């Protein structure tokens, strides 16, 4: 059975006998030229587009989540944004509430740039620092607070030294035992380690251990042009220990002496080395970025201007002769691959309507009602039967399409026999 073009009596909207418009077996539904309705076409488009839409939505969601600001928390020990037991976020938040501006840095260069006169520089450890880095930090004009200093203490001050003897219970409170106002305000703290011993009149050592060496303590203050403070146990600042005894009072008074606190947590990645040479951006002229943006805009405008525009479909003769059978089979394969049962059924019905109308002497412009009436008289079938075959709902699978083809062939055979 060939697949001709437009059928006789098959308009964009067809009416079945009795005045109802047939589609999908639902009275009053609109039927378009390929035998589908608006609902069926929308459902088919949704089936084809749901996976691209899902993938696109997922990509958009990932992009939005990636663009959202990361939470200001970390797992770095003694970091001011670490809410874990080993972090120091509790002290940092209280200092901010008291009006202290905290600058959190991970490199020596950034720490020295922020540590100006009238600020406090907190160095949370010296295990990963080099001698050159420690010397540069010791020369900073800011007041310095050092946690658990070891070999680096002598580079910061010569008025004190690490204590080396004694056994200590880190859970046993230590009383101030000195005249320093900050130590007296704290009253008692908990600390581990032997602490420090004063070597000069400018050094004040507080919070001695019960069985420690005389003149030693866990808190060291060296007065001078700038104030140097050292704590023997960094755990005093942690979220887990800051609320014990007077740890919080000592930490807040030590770190909150100035309105600006530079919180330096040394990092293994901080080599404090200058770049070997200028980068690519340094080699470009100052206006290279703006010029590149302008070139992108010009390229986009040129692409829109010279791009191929897709207009309406234009028919033209083929350069070779293609047999009708090959065209029919090729179109059928395309319909089957895309599962376009409605289009295939519309083509079959259009061919049957055209040929039977011509056989019965009807013009190509005959309406659907006239075609149905003529076929009813020629075949003896009922109006509902003929209307269902020519203008009924489109099939939804291969079996339905094959059944419709057989019914159309039977109808056309009956017309030719009449």
For 327-356, write each residue's pLDDT tens digit: 888 878 888 888 888 888 888 898 899 899
On average, the pLDDT of the chain sits at 82
H or E segment to which residue 252 belongs? helix 247-255
Question: What are the residue ranges spanned by the domains of the chain?
Answer: 1-67+340-418, 89-264
Residue 41 pLDDT:
73
pLDDT of residue 347: 86
Q: Give the C-alpha distances (Å, rounded to integers) separating 395 from 5, 44, 403.
A: 19, 13, 9
- The pLDDT of residue 25 is above 60: no
pTM of model > 0.85: no
Q: How far apart are CA 394 and CA 381, in angstroms?
A: 21
- Whether the per-residue pLDDT at 122 is higher than 90: the answer is yes
**Assigned token pair, 199:** 């070597």
Report CA 215 to chain centroid distance, whole Å. 58
Name the CATH code of domain 89-264 (choices 1.20.1050, 3.30.470, 3.40.50, 3.40.1350).
Answer: 3.40.50
C-beta separation of 160 from 150 below 8 A: no
Spatial CB neighbours of 77, under 8 Å, sequence gap ≥ 6: 86, 87, 124, 265
pLDDT of 315 = 79
DSSP annotation string for 319-374? SS---HHHHHHHHHHHHHHTT-HHHHHHHHHHHHHHHHHHHTT--TT--HHHHHHH
Structure tokens at 232: 């023997």
What are the two backbone dihedrals, phi and then psi, of residue 19, each rounded to the nearest 5 degrees?
95, -10
Q: Which helix (H) or strand (E) holds 102?
A: strand 101-105
pLDDT tens across 284-338, in order?
777 777 788 888 888 888 887 777 667 777 777 777 887 888 888 887 888 888 8
Both tokens of 115, joined, read: 């540590």
Strand partners, 160: 198
Q: Strand 203-206 relative to strand 219-222: parallel, antiparallel, unpaired?
A: antiparallel
Supply the pLDDT for residue 165. Answer: 67
Contact predicate 152/158, CB 8 Å: no
Q: Give the pLDDT band of residue 364 (cuts 50, 70, 90).
A: confident
* Count of Cβ atoms closer than 10 Å to residue 33 Cβ: 16
What percent of the chain is predicted at pLDDT more than 90? 38
Rounded to the nearest 10 degrees, the angle between the axes of helix 247-255 and helix 89-97 is 60
Q: What is the pLDDT at residue 418?
A: 64
So what's the pLDDT on residue 72? 67
Does position 26 have pLDDT exceeding 80, yes or no? no
Identify the pLDDT of residue 82: 92
- Alpha-carbon torsion 407, 408, 409, 414, what sign? positive
Average pLDDT of the segment spanning 30-59: 74
On whether the CB atoms of residues 156 and 228 are closer than 8 A, the answer is yes
Q: Residue 96: which of 239, 230, 252 has the closest Cα?
A: 252
Enter the DSSP assignment of 394.
P
Give the span between the Cα atoms of 352 and 408, in whole angstroms: 7
**Rounded to whole angstroms, how far apart are CA atoms 261 and 401?**
80
């Amino acid at each position: 059975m060939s697949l001709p073009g437009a059928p006789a009596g098959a308009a964009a909207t067809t009416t079945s006998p009795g005045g109802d418009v047939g589609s999908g077996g639902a009275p009053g539904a609109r039927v378009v030229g390929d035998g589908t309705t608006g609902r069926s076409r929308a459902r088919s488009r949704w089936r084809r587009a749901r996976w691209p839409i899902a993938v696109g939505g997922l990509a958009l969601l990932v992009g939005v989540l990636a663009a959202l600001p990361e939470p200001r928390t970390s797992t770095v020990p003694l970091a001011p944004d670490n809410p874990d037991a080993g972090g120091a976020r509790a002290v940092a938040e209280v200092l901010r509430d008291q009006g202290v501006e905290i600058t959190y840095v991970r490199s020596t260069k950034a720490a020295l740039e922020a540590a100006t006169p009238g600020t406090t520089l907190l160095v949370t450890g010296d295990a990963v620092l080099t001698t050159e880095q420690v010397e540069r930090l010791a020369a900073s004009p800011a007041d310095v607070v050092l946690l658990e200093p070891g070999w680096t203490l002598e580079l910061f001050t010569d008025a004190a030294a690490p204590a080396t003897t004694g056994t200590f219970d880190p859970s046993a409170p230590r009383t101030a035992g000195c005249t320093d106002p900050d130590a007296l305000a704290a009253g008692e703290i908990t600390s581990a380690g032997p602490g420090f011993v004063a070597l000069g009149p400018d050094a004040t050592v507080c919070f001695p251990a019960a069985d420690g060496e005389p003149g030693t303590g866990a808190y060291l203050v060296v007065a001078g042009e700038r104030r140097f403070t050292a704590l023997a146990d960094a755990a005093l600042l942690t979220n887990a220990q800051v609320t014990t005894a007077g740890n919080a009072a000592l930490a807040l008074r030590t770190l909150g002496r100035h309105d600006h606190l530079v919180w330096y947590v040394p990092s293994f990645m901080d080599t404090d080395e200058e770049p070997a040479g200028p980068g690519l951006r340094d080699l470009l002229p100052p206006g290279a970025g703006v010029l590149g943006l302008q070139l992108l805009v010009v390229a986009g405008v040129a692409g829109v201007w010279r791009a191929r525009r897709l207009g309406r479909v234009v028919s033209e003769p083929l350069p070779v002769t293609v047999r009708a059978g090959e065209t029919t089979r090729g179109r059928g394969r395309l319909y089957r691959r895309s599962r376009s049962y409605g289009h295939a059924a519309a083509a079959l019905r259009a061919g049957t309507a055209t040929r039977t109308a011509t056989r019965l002497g009807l013009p190509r412009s005959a309406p659907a009602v006239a075609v149905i009436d003529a076929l009813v008289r020629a075949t003896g079938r009922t109006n509902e039967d003929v209307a269902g075959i020519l203008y009924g709902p489109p099939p939804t699978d291969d079996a339905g399409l094959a059944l419709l083809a057989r019914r159309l062939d039977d109808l056309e055979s009956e017309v030719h026999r009449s």
